[in-house]
Structure 1
């Protein structure tokens, strides 16, 4: 059968040189593909983090043990409030093009219902903190973890202000993790930062 198609001219050999890779912007993705990309990326992040922690000989469930001291909530909420205030000041005094992320956050949050904003923020907080604070920071410390964290957020690398802010947030999350000894503190801070900024984008767009 294979020979028949070759003779008939209907069979073409696969040539890897015919593969073309092109850059895809966020505007090329519809809403469904954007969400699939987000959740798939977070699933991969969580899996890598869990595998890394296992190879470190640690139990990831121990990182998520609930805390008795309410000061953990204050650390998370206080750090989130400081970051949100700093971000609002930056957005007020710095031109939009200097903090442009390529429109990703705008696309993710502008038309999203409230429950979905909170869900996305929680999933991102848990997955990224499990990898970066739970796994990578245990191996390399908060400084190099923050370098990697900033590099992973490639959409910010075109401008030094958001890159510096992402690095500073990551370092702060690492610091409160060391200070409190529980992953819930940076998870809570990360969740509040993303959720509040998502709500600001959504209602700013509505107004």
Structure 2
């Protein structure tokens, strides 16, 4: 029997273009599962109640804050995209690969999974420990594909701070989850149904 040698393991950077659709989805879901598990463990170490964190309040301010922030973010993002060249907001083609050929139901599922997993970790756990400012810096740093360009990095930081703010205002994790979900889903639909300019193949 051959002896396993850990020194023979080689790690290399893989671009999004090198991944087929199946591997891209596996990577995305595994990353979100890991995010959820880390968030869950962190919340439990903080002795917070998971049931209390995910309790949906009776007041509708959660909906208004969530959808209101989503509307503001989408308006700002769409306005910026009209005046800023594509290269300045390039994410390496990740969002395009994720959403371009995805069925509507899958865009909805992906957006929900991402919003729940990331908000549990960032708003539920990290913000509880570090506050909205440092949580937003970490959130922007985690979205590494944007770090080459200051405009999307600034936008991601601002969105994160906004998510943290509505969490503080409502006291409910469902407000940032709803905002995050709406932003990702609508941007996913825009990518999915965007028409290419005439003359391009």
Structures share fold, TM-score greater than 0.5? yes
Among 122, 134, 138, the residue aligned to 1:132: 122
Q: Which residue of 2 aligns with 1:75?
A: 65
Q: Which residue of 1 aligns with 2:28?
A: 38
Any stretches of 5+ residues in structure 1 without a counterpart?
3-10
User: 1:76 touches 1:186 (CA, 8 Å); kept in 2?
Assistant: yes
Superposition deviation, residue 206 in structure 1: 7.1
Count matched residues.
197
Task: Say which SS state the counterpart of residue 72 (structure 1) adopts.
Answer: helix
4+ long deviations beyond 3 Å: 11-15
Alignment of 1:1-207 (within 5 A): 14=5, 16=7, 18-205=8-195
Any stretches of 5+ residues in structure 2 without a counterpart?
none
1:147-167, CA deviations, whole angstroms, 9 ceiling, x for partnerless residues?
000000000001000000000
Task: Say which SS state the counterpart of residue 194 (structure 2) adopts.
Answer: helix
User: 1:73 touches 1:188 (CA, 8 Å); kept in 2?
Assistant: yes
Superposition deviation, residue 136 in structure 1: 0.3
RMSD between superposed Cα atoms in Å: 1.5
Residues 30 and 148 of structure 1, relative CA distance in 2, 3 Å threshold: same
Within 2, Cα distance between the matches of 1:115 and 1:169? 25
